[in-house]
């Protein structure tokens, strides 16, 4: 990365100690003499689908202005940012967006018109050379105002620089305004928080609960790509020394074939598998131990897979590992069997939990009746199973999180919903209630399951999960 950065504005407040302040003559010289290159143009292939979603959203809020920001770049260290990803609701309503962009649905009679603010081209202007956030010399060519109108299929597109004035006028007009908050602080601070803001986030989450044919196809593709990532990770596992090598192998596939990983990869070897969200990934790979790999590839459309496989680092499960693995696998089969339209969202969890609790009793780890173990007043099995069995999946790995509990956790499954089924069993290395031979074993098996008209489709079935199939899969990759 260039060490000589140019300040956005030549002031002490915005200039880092290593910034170079260019003379005006250089700025003027840099602004001119550029050849205008034609754009690729074209409309996003899903523009009609996005338009229909905007129309559906608008009908729920007659007379209200709706503001959906794409979000801002987030600082990683000083003046460097994380790779930008637009907010999921913006992507749902418009598609991939640039940092700072904002979608406004304006009341237009009984309907709404879509207005999009985007970074404008600045070649030929001082900002081209002096603005390290939006200057095209620094960050590459923007889609621009005119091209964005066509690409996103919106009614109107305007330069991002005009957004503050627009928002100030909107605030002063006293019109009803609802904002999808927390994505853009500059937008948030211009308006007082209202109850309708949280309701907008809730409404959008509930719109996203049921996936259409395009979304299901993208999730299948995310699973297929993730299979390749798991293949690469298993290849790295054969001679690999650390969890980071596993993480790097999977991430490399995600960046080569797609947008990125959908979340931080969990590559947990040995007793690290007993830490649910182990993402440090600095442990060693030891022969004879298990590797719990929880990872998913995010497509260019931003739909992501979320798959977990627990793999024997040596290629074969020990008898103790096999006992726990088979228990979790049976629990997962029971959970997947509980995915059907009309069933409670919690039905897969109840079925998987029952199998796990019965298995823990059979192993002598839980020393009480099944009814006592799973009684809501006790939940003793949770010492070893720790977490719920399902969450929704889509644009976010934990999708639709703002939906009402009556529509999500305590709601009914409907055709088109996609959820994970991921039971696990975790025996902490220092748990005196667990026989020594099982301590430090952590197993989770996770698949992505779509609710169909008459049952379920396992979107990630392409990734082997039965113990014998896992061992065969590893052997084939290592051969």
Q: Is residue 14 part of a domain?
A: no
Mean pLDDT of 196-209: 96
Same-domain pairing of 419 and 458: yes
Distance between CA atoms of residues 20 and 5, nearest Å: 6
At residue 19, the pLDDT reads 74
Range of the domain at 384: 213-478
Same-domain pairing of 364 and 430: yes
Mean pLDDT of 11-27: 70
Q: Is residue 13 part of a domain?
A: no
CATH number assigned to the domain comprising residue 155 = 3.40.350.10
Rg (CA), the chain: 26
On the question of pLDDT at 48 being above 80, the answer is yes
Q: Please state, for a pLDDT cut of 90, what percent of the chain lies above it.
A: 85
Choosing from 165, 188, 207, the residue where a domain stops is 207
Q: Is residue 129 part of a domain?
A: yes
At residue 36, the pLDDT reads 79
Residue 375: band (very low, low, confident or very high) from pLDDT cuts 50, 70, 90:
very high
Choosing from 207, 233, 257, the residue where a domain stops is 207
CATH number assigned to the domain comprising residue 332 = 3.90.230.10
Mean pLDDT of 131-140: 87
Tally of domains in the chain: 2
**What are the catalytic residues?**
79, 277, 294, 306, 387, 391, 398, 422, 426, 444, 446
Same-domain pairing of 176 and 311: no
Choosing from 154, 173, 207, the residue where a domain stops is 207
Q: Tell me: the pLDDT tens digits for 77-120?
A: 988 899 999 999 999 999 999 999 999 999 999 999 999 999 99
Which residues make Cβ contacts (< 8 Å) with residue 75, sequence separation at least 6? 81, 82
Residue 15: band (very low, low, confident or very high) from pLDDT cuts 50, 70, 90:
low
What residues form DSSP beta bridges with 458?
449
pTM for the model: 0.94
Q: Tell me: the pLDDT tens digits for 290-319?
A: 999 999 999 999 999 999 999 999 999 999
Residue 5: band (very low, low, confident or very high) from pLDDT cuts 50, 70, 90:
very low
What residues form DSSP beta bridges with 412?
344
Mean pLDDT of 338-348: 98
Q: Tell me: the pLDDT tens digits for 140-162?
A: 889 999 999 999 999 999 999 99
- 317-326 long-range contacts (CB < 8 A, ≥24 apart) are 317/290, 317/467, 317/471, 318/288, 320/437, 320/438, 320/441, 321/290, 321/441, 321/443, 322/467, 323/363, 324/425, 324/427, 324/438, 324/441, 324/443, 325/443, 325/445, 325/467, 326/467
Q: Is residue 42 part of a domain?
A: yes
């Amino acid at each position: 990365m260039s060490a000589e950065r140019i300040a956005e504005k030549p002031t002490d407040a915005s200039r880092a100690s290593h910034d170079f302040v260019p003379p005006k003559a250089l700025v003027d010289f840099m602004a001119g003499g550029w050849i205008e290159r034609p754009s690729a143009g074209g409309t996003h292939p899903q523009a009609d689908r996005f338009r229909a979603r905007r129309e559906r959203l608008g009908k729920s809020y007659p007379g209200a202005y709706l503001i959906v920001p794409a979000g801002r770049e987030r600082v990683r260290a000083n003046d460097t940012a994380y790779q930008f990803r637009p907010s999921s609701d913006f992507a749902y309503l418009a598609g991939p967006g640039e940092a700072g962009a904002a979608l406004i649905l304006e009341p237009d009679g009984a309907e709404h018109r879509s207005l999009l603010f985007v970074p404008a081209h600045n070649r030929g202007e001082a900002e081209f050379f002096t603005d390290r956030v939006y200057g095209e010399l620094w960050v590459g060519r923007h889609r621009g105002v005119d091209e964005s109108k066509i690409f996103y299929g919106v009614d109107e597109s305007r330069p991002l620089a005009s957004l503050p004035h627009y928002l100030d006028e909107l605030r002063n007009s006293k019109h009803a305004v609802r904002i999808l908050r927390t994505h853009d602080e500059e937008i948030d601070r211009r308006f007082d928080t209202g109850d309708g803001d949280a309701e907008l986030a809730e409404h959008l989450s509930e719109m996203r609960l049921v996936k259409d044919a395009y979304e299901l196809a993208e999730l299948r593709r995310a699973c297929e790509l993730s299979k390749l990532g798991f293949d690469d990770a298993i290849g790295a596992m054969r001679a690999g020394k650390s969890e980071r090598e596993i993480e790097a192998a999977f991430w490399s596939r995600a960046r080569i074939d797609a947008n990125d990983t959908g979340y931080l990869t969990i590559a947990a070897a040995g007793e690290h598998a007993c830490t649910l969200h182990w993402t440090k990934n600095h442990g060693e790979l030891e022969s004879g131990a298990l590797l719990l790999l929880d990872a998913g590839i995010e497509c260019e459309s931003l739909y992501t897979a979320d798959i977990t496989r627990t793999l024997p680092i040596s290629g074969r499960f020990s008898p103790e590992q096999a006992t726990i693995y088979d228990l979790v696998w049976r629990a997962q089969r029971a959970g997947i069997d509980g995915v059907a339209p009309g069933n409670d969202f919690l039905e897969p969890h109840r079925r998987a939990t029952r199998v796990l609790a019965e298995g823990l009793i059979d192993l002598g780890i839980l020393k009480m009746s099944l009814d006592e173990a799973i009684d809501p007043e006790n939940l003793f099995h949770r010492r070893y199973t720790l977490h719920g069995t399902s969450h929704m999946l889509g644009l976010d790995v934990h999708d639709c999180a703002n939906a009402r509990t009556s529509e999500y956790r305590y709601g009914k499954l409907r055709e088109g919903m996609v959820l994970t089924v991921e039971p696990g069993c975790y025996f902490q290395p220092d748990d005196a209630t667990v026989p020594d031979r099982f301590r430090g074993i952590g197993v989770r098996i996770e698949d992505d399951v779509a609710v169909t008209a008459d049952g379920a489709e396992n979107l990630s079935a392409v990734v082997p999960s039965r113990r014998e199939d896992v061992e065969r899969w590893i052997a084939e990759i290592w051969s």
